[in-house]
Amino acid sequence: MHKTEKSAYPDITKNDLPEISLTALILGLVGGFFIANIYRFKFIGLPLNIIALCVFHFLEFYITAKYNPLQVTTNSYILRNGSEYTLATLISICECLLNSYVFHIDNKIGFKLSCIMITGGLMALVGQYFRSKAMITCGSSFNHTVQQEKQEKHVLITNGVYKVSRHPSYFGFFYWSIGCQLMCLNFVSFFLFTFILWNFFNRRITMEEEYLIKFFGQDYVKFRKSTGVGIPFIK
């Protein structure tokens, strides 16, 4: 008998291919529309916010599909990322609209606000880099959900961006999110995202590291002692 080789690709019967294709199309059309028409907006906060969201969620799926194809699903876009995140995102878009058409913030932008926008943009770029690079570095070990059982493919990674943060994907997501709010001058959303994401990652890291210690023992304990998270007040 011939041994059946394990496929390097996902079982398409478990994935809604029309939904995956449609989601990619919508992200592309929406992002493309705002890129093409960015000059038409009185204040660029709204288009920058939408473009950043489209790029982020597309990359979540694309990188998973390229580097961890067995785990890719419709949910790899992480558009269904919890009610709190969804609500915060909607509030940030509403704040962009208020800044543009109610508060007319475009008339108030001077040196200080420009510096805040540039700082936020740089934070978002750095955050996106760390998030994407962490997923690429992990490859088949990366998963969007906390793994409660060690798989054969799981290895402890301490190189690359993991030298800077032991949870670079969370580090990246955190600074990408709050950086986007500063870039758009969404000060209410900045504090809202900071509060929601800090609490989420604080709980998640605590839970996840209990399993990581079970998986890797003293190797992970030593790694945790030598490498921080990079998110304030999360040890």
Tens digit of each residue's pLDDT (9 = 90 or more) over 171-217: 999 999 999 999 999 999 999 999 999 999 999 999 999 999 999 99
What pLDDT shows up at residue 2?
A: 44
Find the mean pLDDT for residues 48-67.
96
CB burial of 87-123 (b: ≥16 within 10 Å; e: otherwise) equals ebbeebbebbeebbeeeebeeeeeeeeeebbeebbeb
Domain ranges for the chain, please list them. Answer: 12-226
Mean pLDDT of all residues in 100-109: 92
**Residue 119 pLDDT > 70, yes or no?**
yes
Tell me the pTM.
0.92
Q: What angle do CA 197, 177, 110 make, to 5 degrees?
A: 130
Q: What percentage of residues in the chain have a pLDDT greater than 70?
A: 94
CATH class, range 12-226:
mainly alpha
Cα gap 55→59, rounded to integer Å:
6
Q: What is the DSSP string of 51-101?
A: HHHHHHHHHHHHHHHHH-GGG--GGGG-----HHHHHHHHHHHHHHHHHHH
d(CA 69, CA 63): 9
Report the alpha-carbon distance of residue 226 to residue 231 in Å, rounded: 15
- For residue 32, pLDDT beyond 80: yes
Residue 85 has pLDDT above 60, yes or no: yes
Task: Look at residue 166 and tell me whether its pLDDT is greater than 70.
Answer: yes
Q: What local confidence, expressed as pLDDT, does residue 14 receive?
A: 64
Mean pLDDT computed over 38-47: 93
Q: State the chain's mean pLDDT as an integer.
A: 92
pLDDT tier for residue 17 given thresholds of 50, 70 and 90? confident
